[in-house]
Amino acid sequence: MRFFLLVAAPLASLASASFDGNLNYHSPSRRHEGLGIDVHKVARRTLVKRAAPWDPAHLNFTHGVASGDPYPDSVILWTRVAPSLENDRSNVTVTGNVPFYSHDTEKYIKASPNPICVEYCVGTDSNFSSVVDQGTAYTTSDIDYTVKIEAKNLKPLETYYYQFTVCGSNNKSPLGRTKTSPDHDDAVSKIGLAIFSCSNYQNGYFNAYGNAARKDNVDFFVHLGDYIYESGKGKLGQDPRATNPEKEIITLYDYRTRIAQYRADLDLRLAHQNFAWITVWDDHEVANNGYRDGFSGMNNTEASFKKFGGVSVDSRKMNAVRAYFEWMPIRQVDMDDNLRIWRNFKMGKLFDLIMLDTRNYDRSITTLDWNDDYVAELVDDAGRSLMGSLQENWFYNQLSESHERGATWRIIGNQIVFSRMNNSAVSSDPLNADQWDIPNTAFLAGDSHANWVSDLVWLDETPYDQVTGAGAIGVEFAGTAVSSSGYGAGRSIANSSDRSAALVRDNRELQWTEGYYRGYYELYISPEKLHAHASANVIPGSPSVASRNPFDISLANFTVKAGANHLERSNGSVVVQGSVESGALQRGKTTPTNLTLNTVTGTWNVTGFEQMFMAQTMKAWQYNSTKGGLEKNLQINDAAPQPVITDNEILIQVHAMALNPVDYKVTEGPIPLRLVGSNIVPGADFCGTVAKAGKKVADEFTIGEWVYGCKSGAPTSGSLAQYVAVSREMLGRLPEGVKVEDAAGVGIVGLTEYQALAPNVKSGDKVFINGGSGGTGVYGIQIAKALGCHVTTTCSTPNVELCKSLGADEVIDYKTTDIVKELSSKGPIYSVVVDNVGTPANLYKASPSYLLPSGKFVQIGMTPSLSSMKQICGNLLIPGFLGGGKASYQMLFAKPSADAMTQFSAWMKEGKLKGVIDSVFEWENAPKAFEKLKTGRARGKVVVMVPQDKAKENA
């Protein structure tokens, strides 16, 4: 009833609401109604069918929040709120006569009639103590449940916080942060941009986004295109960066699903959540090497139409563009003749940021792989156009207007390299027909997957002095890719730098190039100069995209003084603050330092090549499914990324690992761990050798030393793998003579039982351990005896002798004896109760009859059921006078403890703590190990042996 009352008002307003508040119903343009959604029909549908809104409890903000296209008084805000991660499939190939570009899909596939109402709030602080804008918007499956609104009433160059809420509920989105641009005539002292391009999901992790976001040095994020890639690669559930869909994308559903997969990347989501973005597309947002009439793999022919399942070039473009505008925090530009994305941002009197479309708007034919010789003949054809006449005229007018209004800088964001580049050193074609051949002022470029810093020059037209820079008409900063491969791919850093040196040799205006690293660059604009990285123009790169890591390495520094039109020089050399990390300078040194910033901890360290730059992989069992258990969905990944350790961590080469019930109970529970990370590697316990040690713990362990322990807090990268990264507090040294498989199972259960017992007992005390023959209880009995306690435990008939052999003084057979009656008959004699099982249900409530008044009841195990959860919650929350238990009650989870691990090593050496193994499985049979564990009949630990890679072992 409460929910009905809360949503009654929003429902009543649906009749008059046009859904106009959600810009995506008009995507991509209000001036092209045929390309958008008939919002009147959507609203009418929700009423005619008397469709109730979704229950807020069934909705999720599936992909965080985002903001973009900042204006002085407004900014675009975005989110997606949906009943599932699945994208809407309202795109089908139809037969017969249908209206041109009609998106009325009701005749062919039924759209969801259920409306979703969201409220948005914008404030000057994260607590929304001062709200500056708020409102309501609706979304439906027609637009893939996306929400895009324009927040208004904002002040120039101010930081704001925003949040979405499902109407009539407390279901809130993550808190977002954004920023407006300065007013057109404002005097601005400095603005910083983080500039990205070419983020290829299947090629590596998006570390660059996360690093720039965590550093928090800039005002806005700029993306110059190839935000997604259309090609497919890998197998979902097996390869860590397999694409979804696995095939090349063509339909609207395909494009929606691919963008959604990218936006699930945690680093990209963080960057969107905390910064306003300014984006433009390149070719891969639609398809490779796109131009006005097609792509390299698809054209306007009958054969192509049949090959791609009846989808034409125009239909594919519309699918891609519609998905892009639905999912990106971008304004719907007022289109005057065609679909356009090119637009301008006036950043006060400091600069104009002019974003161009050199790819899709009205581009003449380009290189398509099969026509390169033909295009080479057309290079100087006067009829060719890169942007189309309308965009060219607009562009030149923007440059003139910017100069006339007194803006200091004109920054042009475009997709492709502007400089005329001789590529003979890295390509068989000296000139790249897929780049600019016209001059202008200060350019930012992506697309090439390499770093290029150049003076812009009218080569062979006007004199140019490469020593002083005289004769240059501007500069260009072309950045490397977020993850796509550059000309250094597959090569060593040194070999890649040799290729860079050849490029610099062949292009006298090229001041620096680098093709090995992946990353981004930061550009800082002030009235006096262009700059980057705090006080210098630094272009950072991510040391490796083979694994998700927070490392950031500074590659080079450059400065451009206002009015100079060329890179700053000193004594004939470009100013780079000494040297560059990689690549080649026109005149200067390349000095690798390996000095990296950990953007999570804020610390700088010199890190070795083998850890930083090599694409280390390993074998690992991975799980990525919501249907069935681990035993049915585990798959071996032979090329899983090897963990990257922090300064406080140690990399362990695993020789044996042991399973715990938590490995499957949490993963398969009501909130699957896959929501916080895909391709889960389960497991916590292990025994193995030290492979590497972080800087702060390097003196404590030696490479090759045998250790055992466990990993806690991050079960997504567990020990069912050849390598695992753990903190020093979770490691113990393996005593001589102790078997690997015996020590492999001590970690989690040992810590749990020790922390339940040691703080609560003294020698001579009596303890009761419920469940003495399982993987936890067998260690609890031994630890209690090592602490000098008298032990009573429970087990089934076949395991009585096992418990006695471990030191139990008294064993209760729960198959033949009522546990509570037996304990109560003894009176209150126990100092602590450790419940590893969770049954019988009345064990805790009856505990005052057998537990000392000062004693404690410690809960460790429970069955994964609603009744058990209810029981635990009742024990924790309901006081005794309301019918709850009266004894001290604790739900215990193991905590890291180096002291406890040291104690275990001592006890193992003395023979007081021994491994209890139920069964040992070989690597290939890991799923069967989980089957055995889930029977609940394992006597001790279930162990899996891990194969050793000799090549890596000797590295």
Q: Which of 755, 686, 766 is nearest to 722 (CA)?
A: 686
* Ramachandran bin of 310, using left for φ above 0, alpha for ψ from -120 to 50, beta for the remaining angles: left
CATH 3.40.50.1000 fits 185-606, yes or no: no
Omega cis (within 30) before 70: no
Dist. CA 184–CA 353, nearest whole Å: 12
Q: Token pair of 437, please? A: 């051949």
pLDDT at 16: 37
Dist. CA 595–CA 579, nearest whole Å: 13
* Cα 52 to the center of its chain, rounded Å: 34
pLDDT at 208: 92
Domain boundaries, the chain: 21-180, 185-606, 617-745, 748-910
Dist. CA 341–CA 886, nearest whole Å: 68
HEC-encoded secondary structure of 469-533: CCCCCEEEEECCCCCCCCCCCCCCHHHHHHHHHHHHHHCCCEEEEECCCEECEEEEECCCEEECC
Dist. CA 39–CA 44, nearest whole Å: 8
Q: Token pair of 846, please? A: 């009856």
* Contact yes or no for 464/546 (Cβ under 8 A): no
Q: Looking at this protein, which amino acid is placed at residue 267?
A: D
* Ramachandran bin of 790, using left for φ above 0, alpha for ψ from -120 to 50, beta for the remaining angles: beta
* Contact yes or no for 413/222 (Cβ under 8 A): yes
* Contact yes or no for 467/482 (Cβ under 8 A): no
In CATH, what class is 617-745?
alpha beta
Helices 898-910 and 777-786 cross at an angle (nearest 10°) of 80
* Contact yes or no for 266/253 (Cβ under 8 A): no
* Assigned superfamily of 748-910: NAD(P)-binding Rossmann-like Domain (3.40.50.720)
The structure tokens 């759209």 sit at 111
Tell me the Cα Rg of the chain: 32
Dist. CA 739–CA 750, nearest whole Å: 16
**pLDDT < 70 stretches in the chain:** 1-18, 31-35, 47-51, 90-111, 333-339, 364, 369-371, 375, 417-440, 489-492, 531-544, 571-578, 607-617, 624-628, 666-679, 713-716, 861-885, 949-955
Q: Give the H/E segment covering residue 874.
A: helix 866-877
* Contact yes or no for 148/78 (Cβ under 8 A): yes
Q: Are strands 731-733 and 706-710 parallel, antiparallel or unpaired?
A: antiparallel
pLDDT at 129: 97
DSSP string, 560-603: EETTT-S--EETTEE--TTEESSSEESSSEE----EEEETTTTE
pLDDT at 868: 57
The structure tokens 């791609």 sit at 308
Q: Which of 675, 741, 676 is nearest to 708 (CA)?
A: 741
* Assigned superfamily of 21-180: Purple acid phosphatase-like, N-terminal (2.60.40.380)
- Helices within 592-734 (DSSP H only): 609-612, 630-633, 662-665
Strand order in the sheet with 538-542: 518-519, 538-542, 551-557, 595-598, 603-606
Q: Which of 616, 598, 615, 600 is nearest to 695 (CA)?
A: 598
Query: 598 Cβ partners below 8 Å, 6+ apart?
Result: 550, 551, 552, 604, 605, 646, 647
Q: Which of 174, 775, 224, 716 is nearest to 447 (CA)?
A: 224
Q: Token pair of 2, please? A: 């409460």
Q: Looking at this protein, which amino acid is placed at residue 807?
A: G
Is the pTM value of this prediction over 0.75? no
Dist. CA 726–CA 709, nearest whole Å: 9
The structure tokens 């604009």 sit at 525
Query: 559 Cβ partners below 8 Å, 6+ apart?
Result: 529, 530, 531, 536, 537, 567, 568, 575
Dist. CA 825–CA 832, nearest whole Å: 17
Query: 228 Cβ partners below 8 Å, 6+ apart?
Result: 199, 201, 258, 259, 262, 284, 285
pLDDT at 536: 27
DSSP state at residue 690: E
Q: Provide the β-strand partners of residue 410.
A: 352
Query: Torsions phi, psi of 476, nearest 5?
Result: -140, 135
DSSP state at residue 545: S
User: Strand, helix or coil at 911?
Assistant: coil
DSSP state at residue 291: B
DSSP state at residue 304: H
